[in-house]
């Protein structure tokens, strides 16, 4: 067996990790063997335990040495005991079962005549006492808390703290003894006593009042520490016992909280510390910091609170990053309590945005957003925009959201609001979320007076930079939508340069975007929409032809969504008479409060989770009908009445060219483009009967609806299922029995619709039972079934009886349609459900009900 | 075992642990004031090292968030002295406490270096126990601590 020293040396001498492991394992094995064999040799045992502790420090397994270590405790030799206790504290913790074996040794040693042995026992107890040990030994500790020996008193005080943490009901045994410690003359005892009292107060707030009587003496102690001058024993860089000062301030905080008279007693000394403590070194700042926390936590008078905030403000100007960090951290905590006082340090906070330490920058940024209000929004947002340009990449996404929220909340006028978002798009267009873009579009579409300004700005921005996706998307949409205003106004001046606006220039921009490397899928989709719209807003046949060619070039795009759009728009060129109507301007978007931007990251930082907004049933339906669009994307959502649903469905479809669709949508079935396809499936018929020029989009929609009242609409694209023979349905005896019509039978789901009318049914009303059956081998979940009717009719839906169907199961849902007598019932159906983890969404037109269904 | 979880949640005013590591992440001192099992200890050491070692000495603060706590650390030559504290605690005061401990070591060993800690690790633990107890600072006078250690060593 080698000595400890040579063992350490050989571990250090190991050249590779493998060598080191080998040395350690060899020694570890030797120690085990030695434990088994030489159970009498105490010298050997000492050496082994010492090595074991080295192994522990290295992070090796040491559990096999626990018992040997405890054997050392029982010896009478001090050095053995010392090593034994050291080992016990390191190798054991409160959760080890063998700890019960220590209790007896501790009990003996706590009553040992030698104070050093008692000290060791107290130290062990304080560090690893378990609940049982606390119960078994508290009486011994109780005695030691008031012993003559200050060295044992302080250790006993901390042991007492540990004991009451483990067994709170023992508190009262220590309350009076703790009081005696508060007047102690020995600094170590005082510190430990304060810790004990502080802990007692935290554990049980009912104890606080009885400690309030010590406030004057605590204040006296604090005063003597701050005015006594140089005291070599506890001096730290010219400050007298900063640790004790911090402890006293902390205890005062607990005692003064929520108590007016206690607070009044403290005001003076807190003011004194806040003004007189030397803030040039860390040690002074640690006291200032504690004092500020106390000032802000108790109901100190307002002057003092402002002084406290000002100290934190000064922290921000400190050269030491630690002090800055603490200052920013604390200011963020108090900004809501003392907004005005914190505002005064705005400039210093903004300077911290440019600090070299990223954690300082992050905190300064969070705090800056907290500071924004309607008075300073211009200044702060300007600063933040400057910072945005150079900000760390990881900040940008959150910053764009936060700036847009601030702009939305506090914008002094629309022009400023639009300018701000434009700056964000320009500076960080690659980091903005889709939501910001849709909010911006909604904002623009609602601000008629700014259309020309916005479109010109975006035109100018896009001419110089197409690398920022967010900017490109917003610009594409706005130029597509308001291109006519841009063209009508002609050349304009932007930032002292004249910009020509010719139709060719506008098309050229889109041409270059489409063929650039920055054209993501979403960008391409937006560009196609914009081009289609522009084809009705331009007059030069050459340019219109160029647009047609551009669109046609995408009909072979690899992405199905882009291809579909291109094909549909290209087809639209064949129907000049309706194209103009279809591509009319969008109605102004409705900005819904519940869909406003949420500060995501910020909420997470503050420990809250942004609550998902509850959606009403109607909302969900509307959302679905407009093709999963974001609320802000313009589509006509004027009235939630069910009767308007079809109008809306078609509004979504008819207005599609102007509706940007989410790139990540993926659910092609759910896209409004299908609706469009359907409309154009029968387009020629309806077009022939409708005037091609309409004043606004809403009317166009109504006219397209003419499709439904034309006597013989051409078949919409989904194949029309043949009416199935009626299964037996228990229709009311007095009523007329109709067969059940199969409306859908795909993907394992069969859906039949059976109209029911009886004597009690009012005229013009039909009840329809929709029956769902799972005909496939897979379970279907979250079945939702929606029905839309033409504008002149109304529909009412009951909830489905069972939204999740196992194979073979059935469910039903009641539908009620109200129309005028004699009207033909035509339904647009939408079914969605989950199957094998995939979402299936299907839409179809259903018009197989007998024409005379509502005849009477 | 039952109160392990609640202990971490409700005791918020003490050191969770103290680690002294060198720049390579070798631990020179590890003292835990809340119980962790062996695997957890290994994980803690690794995490703390990875958090602290790459930080810039000049331009970054000496505080890092760590799980629900905060690591306050100071670097002395090649050694990082790290303490894990409650995230609402006074970080600046802990910086002073670390420095106080290092000053005691320095006086005790006379210009302390890493090798002193390696070969006299058991003494370092003994010194630590005179400065911190139960995760709280116990003594703030260097003389008192050194005087005490002198006596203890004389008894050996």
Q: Would you place residue A736 in the very low, low, confident or very high pLDDT band (cuts 50, 70, 90)?
A: low
The span from the CA of A45 to the CA of A2, in Å, is: 13
The span from the CA of A446 to the CA of B55, in Å, is: 50
Q: Please indicate if any CB of chain A lies within 8 Å of the CB of B75.
A: no
Q: Would you place residue A34 in the very low, low, confident or very high pLDDT band (cuts 50, 70, 90)?
A: confident
B95 pLDDT more than 90: yes
| pLDDT, position A95 | 86
The reply to whether residue A82 touches residue B136, judged by beta carbons under 8 angstroms, is no
B38 to chain A: which residues are within 8 Å by CB?
61
Angle subtended by helix axes A469-489 and A451-464, to nearest 10:
120
Instruction: For residue range A479-534, list pLDDT tens digits in order.
Output: 999 999 999 888 888 777 888 888 899 999 999 999 998 889 999 999 999 999 99
A763 pLDDT more than 90: no
The span from the CA of A218 to the CA of A650, in Å, is: 77
Size (chain B), residues: 156
Least confident of A368-377, A397-406, A642-651, A826-835: A642-651
A290 to chain B: which residues are within 8 Å by CB?
90, 93
Measure B14 CA to nearest chain A CA, in Å. Answer: 10
The reply to whether residue B27 touches residue A57, judged by beta carbons under 8 angstroms, is yes
Pick the closest to residue A832 from A841, A823, A843 (CA basis): A841
Q: Please indicate if any CB of chain B lies within 8 Å of the CB of A191.
A: yes
Measure A13 CA to nearest chain B CA, in Å. Answer: 13
Tell me, rounded to whole angstroms, the distance of Cα A294 from its chain centroid: 32
Residues 6 or more apart whose Cβ sits within 8 Å of residue A27: A2, A7, A51, A55
Measure B119 CA to nearest chain A CA, in Å. Answer: 7
Neighbours of A336 (CB within 10 A): 9
A3 pLDDT more than 50: yes
Q: Are A664 and A812 in contact (CB under 8 A)?
A: no
Domain boundaries A96-203, corresponding CATH code:
1.25.10.10
| pLDDT, position A698 | 43
User: Whose structure tokens read 């909302």?
Assistant: A619
Q: Are A128 and A88 in contact (CB under 8 A)?
A: yes
| pLDDT, position A1 | 58
The reply to whether residue A95 touches residue B1, judged by beta carbons under 8 angstroms, is yes
Question: Domain A413-582 is of which CATH architecture?
Answer: Alpha Horseshoe (1.25)
Structure tokens at A412: 């002094």
* Beta bridge pairs of residue A742: A752
| pLDDT, position A593 | 66
Tell me which residue in A116, A151, A286 faces B92 most closely, judged by beta carbons: A286
The span from the CA of A720 to the CA of A744, in Å, is: 9
Pick the closest to residue A537 from A577, A475, A579, A575 (CA basis): A579
Q: Please indicate if any CB of chain A lies within 8 Å of the CB of B23.
A: no
Q: Would you place residue A661 in the very low, low, confident or very high pLDDT band (cuts 50, 70, 90)?
A: very low
Measure B130 CA to nearest chain A CA, in Å. Answer: 9
The size of the A-B interface in CB pairs under 8 A is 162
Q: pTM score, two decimals?
A: 0.70
Q: Are A104 and A76 in contact (CB under 8 A)?
A: no
Q: Would you place residue A626 in the very low, low, confident or very high pLDDT band (cuts 50, 70, 90)?
A: very low
Q: Are A140 and A118 in contact (CB under 8 A)?
A: no
Mean pLDDT of chain A: 81
The reply to whether residue A286 touches residue B90, judged by beta carbons under 8 angstroms, is yes
Section A170-188 average pLDDT: 91
Q: Are A327 and A313 in contact (CB under 8 A)?
A: yes
Q: Please indicate if any CB of chain B lies within 8 Å of the CB of A5.
A: yes
CA dist B100 → A234, B4, B81, B106, B137 (Å): 11, 30, 12, 10, 10
The span from the CA of A782 to the CA of A676, in Å, is: 26
Q: Does domain A617-846 have CATH number 3.40.50.300?
A: no
Section A286-312 average pLDDT: 91
Give B96-143 as a DSSP string: HHHHHHHHHHHHHHTS--HHHHHHTHHHHHHHHHHHEETTEE----HH
Q: Please indicate if any CB of chain A lies within 8 Å of the CB of B4.
A: yes
Between positions 42 and 61 of A, the ones with CB within 8 A of B are 50, 53-54, 56-59, 61
The span from the CA of A425 to the CA of A519, in Å, is: 16
B121 to chain A: which residues are within 8 Å by CB?
53-54, 57
Among left, alpha and beta (phi > 0; psi -120 to 50; other), residue A490 is left
The reply to whether residue A50 touches residue B122, judged by beta carbons under 8 angstroms, is yes
Measure B134 CA to nearest chain A CA, in Å. Answer: 5
A563 pLDDT more than 50: yes
Q: Would you place residue A657 in the very low, low, confident or very high pLDDT band (cuts 50, 70, 90)?
A: very low
The span from the CA of A87 to the CA of A127, in Å, is: 12
B122 to chain A: which residues are within 8 Å by CB?
50, 53, 83, 86
| pLDDT, position A755 | 85
Q: Are A686 and A710 in contact (CB under 8 A)?
A: yes
| pLDDT, position A773 | 86
Measure A380 CA to nearest chain B CA, in Å. Answer: 26
B129 pLDDT more than 90: yes
Pairing of the two strands B79-86 and B69-76: antiparallel
């Amino acid at each position: 067996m080698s000595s400890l020293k040579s063992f350490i040396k050989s571990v250090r001498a190991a050249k590779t990790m493998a060598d080191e492991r080998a040395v350690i394992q060899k020694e570890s094995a030797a120690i085990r063997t030695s434990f088994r064999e030489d159970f009498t040799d105490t010298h050997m045992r000492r050496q082994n335990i010492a090595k074991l502790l080295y192994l522990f420090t290295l992070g090796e397994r040491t559990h096999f040495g626990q018992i040997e270590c405890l054997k050392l405790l029982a010896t009478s030799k001090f050095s053995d005991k010392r090593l034994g206790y050291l080992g016990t504290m390191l190798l054991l913790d409160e959760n080890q079962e063998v700890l019960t074996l220590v209790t007896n040794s501790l009990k003996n040693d706590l009553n040992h005549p030698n104070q050093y042995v008692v000290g060791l026992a107290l130290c062990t107890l304080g560090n690893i006492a378990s609940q049982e040990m606390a119960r078994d030994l508290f009486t011994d500790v109780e005695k030691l808390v008031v012993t003559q020996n200050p060295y044992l008193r302080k250790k006993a005080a901390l042991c007492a703290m540990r004991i009451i943490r483990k067994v709170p009901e023992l508190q009262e045994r220590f309350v009076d003894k703790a009081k005696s410690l508060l007047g102690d003359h020995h600094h170590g005892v005082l510190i430990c006593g304060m810790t004990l009292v502080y802990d007692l107060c935290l554990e049980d707030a009912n104890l606080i009042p009885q400690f309030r009587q010590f406030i004057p003496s605590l204040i006296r102690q604090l005063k003597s520490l701050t005015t006594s001058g140089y005291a070599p024993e506890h001096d730290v860089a010219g400050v007298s016992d900063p640790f004790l000062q911090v402890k006293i301030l902390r205890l005062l905080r607990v005692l003064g909280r929520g108590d007016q008279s206690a607070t009044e007693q403290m005001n003076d000394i807190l003011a004194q510390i806040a003004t007189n403590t030397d803030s040039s070194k860390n040690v002074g700042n640690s006291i200032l910091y504690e004092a500020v926390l106390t000032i802000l936590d108790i109901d100190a008078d307002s002057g003092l609170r402002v002084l406290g905030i000002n100290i934190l403000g000064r922290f921000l100007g400190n050269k030491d990053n630690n002090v800055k960090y603490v200052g920013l951290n604390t200011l963020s905590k108090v900004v809501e309590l003392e907004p005005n006082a914190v505002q005064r340090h705005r400039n210093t906070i903004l300077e911290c945005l440019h600090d070299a330490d990223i954690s300082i920058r992050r905190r300064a940024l969070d705090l800056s957003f907290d500071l924004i209000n309607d008075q300073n929004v211009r200044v702060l947002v300007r600063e933040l925009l400057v910072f945005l340009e150079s900000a760390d990449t990881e900040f940008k996404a959150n910053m764009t959201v936060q700036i847009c929220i601030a702009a939305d909340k506090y914008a002094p006028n629309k022009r400023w609001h639009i300018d701000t978002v434009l700056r964000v798009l320009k500076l960080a267009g690659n980091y903005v979320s889709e939501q910001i873009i849709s909010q911006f579009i909604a904002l623009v579409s609602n601000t008629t007076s700014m259309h020309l300004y916005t479109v010109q700005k975006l035109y100018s921005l896009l001419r110089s930079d197409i690398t920022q996706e967010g900017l490109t998307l917003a610009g594409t949409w706005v130029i597509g939508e308001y291109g006519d205003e841009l063209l009508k106004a002609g050349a304009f001046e932007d930032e002292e340069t004249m910009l020509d606006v010719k139709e060719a220039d506008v098309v050229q921009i889109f041409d270059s975007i489409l063929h650039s490397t920055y054209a993501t899928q979403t960008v391409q989709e937006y560009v196609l929409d914009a081009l289609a719209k522009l084809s009705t807003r331009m007059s030069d046949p050459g340019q219109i032809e160029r647009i047609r060619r551009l669109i046609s070039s995408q009909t072979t795009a690899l992405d199905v969504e882009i291809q579909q759009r291109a094909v549909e728009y290209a087809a639209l060129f064949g129907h000049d008479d309706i194209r103009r109507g279809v591509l009319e301007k969008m109605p102004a978007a409705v900005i819904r409060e519940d869909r406003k931007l949420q500060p995501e990251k910020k909420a997470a930082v503050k420990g809250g989770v942004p609550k998902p907004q509850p959606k009403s049933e109607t909302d969900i339906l509307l959302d679905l009908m407009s093709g999963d669009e974001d609320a802000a994307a313009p589509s006509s959502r004027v009235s939630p009445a069910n009767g308007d649903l079809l109008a809306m469905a078609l509004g979504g479809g008819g207005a599609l060219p102007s509706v940007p669709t989410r790139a990540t949508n993926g659910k092609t079935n759910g896209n409004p483009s299908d609706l469009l396809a359907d409309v154009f499936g029968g387009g020629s018929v309806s077009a022939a009967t409708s005037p091609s020029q309409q004043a606004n989009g809403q009317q166009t929609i109504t006219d397209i609806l003419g499709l439904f009242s034309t006597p013989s609409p051409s078949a919409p694209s989904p194949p029309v299922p043949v009416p199935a023979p009626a299964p037996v349905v228990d229709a009311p005896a007095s009523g007329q029995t109709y067969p059940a019509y199969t409306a859908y039978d795909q993907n394992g789901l069969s859906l039949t619709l059976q109209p029911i009318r009886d004597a009690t049914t009012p005229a013009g009303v039909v009840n329809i039972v929709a029956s769902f059956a799972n005909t496939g081998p897979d379970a279907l979940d979250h079945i939702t079934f929606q029905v839309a009717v033409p504008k002149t009719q109304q529909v009412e839906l009951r909830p489905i009886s069972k939204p999740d169907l196992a194979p073979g199961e059935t469910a039903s849902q009641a539908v009620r349609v109200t129309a005028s007598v004699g009207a033909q019932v035509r339904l647009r159906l939408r079914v969605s459900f989950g199957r094998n983890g995939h979402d299936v969404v299907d839409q179809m037109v259903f018009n197989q009900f007998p024409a005379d269904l509502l005849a009477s | 075992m039952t109160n392990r979880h609640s202990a971490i949640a409700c005791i918020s005013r003490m050191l969770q642990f103290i680690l002294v590591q060198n720049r390579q992440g070798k631990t020179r001192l590890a003292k835990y004031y809340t119980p962790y099992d062996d695997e957890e200890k290994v994980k803690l050491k690794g995490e703390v090292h990875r958090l602290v070692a790459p930080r810039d000495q000049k331009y970054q603060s000496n505080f890092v968030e760590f799980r629900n706590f905060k690591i306050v650390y100071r670097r002395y030559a090649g050694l990082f002295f790290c303490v894990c504290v409650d995230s609402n605690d006074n970080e600046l005061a802990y910086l002073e406490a670390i420095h106080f401990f290092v000053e005691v070591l320095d006086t005790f060993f006379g210009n302390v270096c890493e090798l002193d800690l390696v070969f006299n690790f058991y003494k370092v633990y003994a010194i630590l126990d005179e400065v911190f107890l139960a995760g709280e600072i116990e003594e703030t006078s260097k003389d008192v601590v050194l005087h005490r250690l002198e006596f203890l060593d004389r008894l050996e």
